[in-house]
Amino acid sequence: MTDKSKTAPAGDNVEPLRRTRPCPICDQPSSRKFFPFCSKRCADVDLNRWLTGHYAVPVVEEDGGTSGGEEPY
């Protein structure tokens, strides 16, 4: 038993889930399977860059003191 009212009419276009963007490694169109990359190779290149320290998230280090007048535990 199927409910035909829940399916799209035959003439409608189905829109993809997300638009393709260029791969951040090689600028080829991205693949849905490896998004935002175009292939497993480019995803692995990006992972290697993170693991070897080519990419870094900036961190603001505070002084050793306490903030807001609170006493340390």
Between 41 and 2, whose confidence is greater?
41
CA distance 21 to 43: 14
Check if CATH label 3.30.50.10 holds for domain 18-54. Answer: yes
Q: pTM to 2 decimals?
A: 0.56
pLDDT digits (tens, 9 = 90+) for 20-55: 799 999 999 999 899 999 999 999 999 999 999 998
CA distance 17 to 31: 12
Locate the domains of the chain by residue range: 18-54
Residue 18: both structure tokens together: 């997300």
Mean pLDDT value across the chain: 81
